Amino acid sequence: MVTASIAGLGAALPAAYDQRTLWEEYFRGHFAGSRAAERIFAGAGVQRRHSVTDPFAEDVSGWSTGERMRRYAERAPSLGHRAVTDALADAGVGADEIGMLAVASCTGYSTPGLDIQLATSLRLRPDAQRLLVGHMGCHAALPALGAVADFVVARGRPAVLLCLELTSLHLQPATADAQQVVTHALFGDAAVALVLRPDEARAPGLRVVDVAARTDTGSSGHMTWEVTDLGFRMGLSPEVPDVLAEHIGPLVKEVLARHGLDIADVRAWAVHPGGPRILDTVEDGLGLAPPALAASRAVLAEHGNCSSATVLLVLRELLRHGPPPGPLVAVAFGPGLTLYAALLEPTTEPEVR
């Protein structure tokens, strides 16, 4: 039976900025020296973030949505190209072999879009299919992964998934709203790409076993992404962790049970680091020991929350020394309020030493 496996991964990041310096040299003034805002920045679990805008040289908060989309169109294609090229090289797959390119992004739009621009710059074949996954937010990587894996299985051809988010373009005007301060303390920019291919040859990689979702429509107002005249404005209720606490255990246990597994069988966790409280909630809800989410906390510290790209950055962190010796579960959350989980497993057995 042909299944789809992750064979390569690549990332591209814009310039990095120190969190403390961001506060001292920009956000302290932006939030009028608020002590509450300073505490939020200090407690965000973020040490560095990446940004396509230089907050010390240009104040994006007053830009129109049109201006922000023009910057997206200027910067996104080169970042996306770098991430995909690195992923193809990591997989040992040529661009002319790719049957589908899927792009997930909720931070910028144009037509012809990023998918078409990349099809051109990467020199994909004219018959390569394209899929744009837009405005799904932080969990978009996992439904997109499911769609791309289904293509690989159905068509028997390699495919690419790119998650590219430039959240820095949506810096909002100054406000006393604590949840807006939280948003501004957390988010950063990143582009991450995966190459999936049929794994019938059983080359080293991670097989996509299952993807599952759970949506609580009664809490749909807890996480929003509103298009305004001054960019996209995030709404983030403090009740989000409570909703996650209710659903995270049942979702993960359900997808594992379908394959005769339980939480104790999972050897690695790629959890979207929406913030320190989110990670604490997942840790408690699944009964995990603190080291289980070390990769998620490391990514939060190094990159912040990069929306859909973040869970793939966590996966990259986990794979630095090769696939885990057993099942891996990826989890992400977004508007809906929606939880997604993906079950992955190594395509080859670990060496016995």
Q: Quote the tokens at residue 237.
A: 């209720």
Rounded-to-integer distance, Cα 129 and Cα 283, Å: 38
Helix (H, G, I), strand (E, B) or coil at 183: helix
Are 129 and 151 in contact by the 8 Å Cβ rule? The answer is: yes
- Annotation marks residue 138 as catalytic: yes
Nearest-10 Cα torsion for 168, 27, 295, 164: 0
Nearest-10 Cα torsion for 110, 116, 120, 122: 110
Contacts of 35 (CB under 8 A, 6+ apart): none
Are 51 and 217 in contact by the 8 Å Cβ rule? The answer is: no
3-state helix, strand, coil in the chain (%, to 5): 45, 25, 30
Q: Which of 106, 138, 163, 306 is catalytic?
A: 138
Rounded-to-integer distance, Cα 136 and Cα 334, Å: 7
Active-site residues, by number, are 138
